[in-house]
Amino acid sequence: MRRTVIAGNWKMNMTPSEAKKFITELAPMVKGLDKCDIVLCVPYVDIAVACEAAKGTNIHIGAENVHFAESGAYTGEVSAKMLTEIGTEYVIVGHSERRQYFGETDTTVNQRTKAALAAGLKVILCLGEVKDERLAGITDEVVAMQTKLDLAGITAEQLKNVIIAYEPVWAIGTGLTATPEQADETCGVIRSVVRDLYGAEAAEEITIQYGGSMNDANARELLSKPNVDGGLIGGASLKTDKFTSIVLAANA
């Protein structure tokens, strides 16, 4: 049966000392809550400190992006091997903020995903429609196309290390949340594309998260939906009490 995964995406927040303090405070709060996997995706410079602070706890550490090349002249980028060597287990790829502000396309998202998987990282692959696409009634087509393009060339074996995060762009950081029904329906569309590409078993096994203003107040209802297997949480992952409430909702 597929795992529920509650992951924080800190974005460009928290210094290394703040990260250490946060994880030290969070660890006893989530201790023993084993009905979901708990992940914090943190800025590159926080990863080493975060891994150290999370040692011996049930908190796993991820990065927020990764480059597709093994090494080379890519100023400012970080390779998958650099991440694994310092203990990183997960990486977010294709976040809408990367697509929107840093020119990421489905092609580069696919390349980054492949490089991360080849290095042994677990990938949280983000996709989702923008507001105009939802209003135009083409959400299903948009997420289906992103799913196909972003997963191109990824084997069924590799897919076991992929989590898909459905993040409607209009719901990110806006306080607007998809209704539980919208989240369930669109996660279901993504699951049906995975079924077409990889078969029924893979579709049943893959974890599909919802992300977009998920918080302590709405998590339980969103997570109760059959196609929603967890959350990718921005703002509410920056407070230990709010994040713990979401982990508790996933353990209810």
Asked if 211 interacts with ligand 13P (CB under 6 A), we say yes
CB of 201 to ligand 13P, least distance (A): 28
Measuring CA to CA, which residue among 215, 244, 238, 217 is closest to residue 28? 244
Pick between residue 172 and residue 223 the one whose CB is nearest to ligand 13P.
Answer: 172
Contact predicate 127/92, CB 8 Å: no
Asked if 233 interacts with ligand 13P (CB under 6 A), we say yes
Of 4, 5, 6, 9, which lies in the binding site for ligand 13P, with binding defined by CB under 6 A? Answer: 9
Using DSSP bridges, classify how beta strands 122-127 and 90-93 pair: parallel, antiparallel or unpaired: parallel
Using DSSP bridges, classify how beta strands 208-211 and 122-127 pair: parallel, antiparallel or unpaired: unpaired
Asked if 95 interacts with ligand 13P (CB under 6 A), we say yes
Tokens encoding 124: 């949280």
Pick between residue 64 and residue 106 the one whose CB is nearest to ligand 13P.
Answer: 64
Q: What is the DSSP letter of 210?
A: E
Of 234, 243, 244, 249, which lies in the binding site for ligand 13P, with binding defined by CB under 6 A? Answer: 234
Question: How many residues sit in the footprint of ligand 13P (CB under 6 A)?
Answer: 14
Of 39, 82, 172, 183, which lies in the binding site for ligand 13P, with binding defined by CB under 6 A? Answer: 172
Angle between helices 139-150 and 106-118 in degrees, nearest 10? 40
CB of 93 to ligand 13P, least distance (A): 11
Pairwise CA distance, residues 185 & 96, whole Å: 20
Pick between residue 207 and residue 213 the one whose CB is nearest to ligand 13P.
Answer: 213
Asked if 94 interacts with ligand 13P (CB under 6 A), we say no
Measuring CA to CA, which residue among 27, 23, 76 is closest to residue 48? 23
The residues carrying an active-site annotation are 95, 167
Asked if 213 interacts with ligand 13P (CB under 6 A), we say yes
Q: Which residue has the tokens 């790829």?
A: 93
Tell me the chain's radius of gyration from C-alpha atoms: 17
Asked if 164 interacts with ligand 13P (CB under 6 A), we say no
Measuring CA to CA, which residue among 109, 97, 99, 88 is closest to residue 44? 88
For residue 238, which amino acid is it? L
CB of 71 to ligand 13P, least distance (A): 28
Pick between residue 93 and residue 203 the one whose CB is nearest to ligand 13P.
Answer: 93
Binding site residues, ligand 13P, CB under 6 A:
9, 95, 167, 172-173, 211-214, 232-236
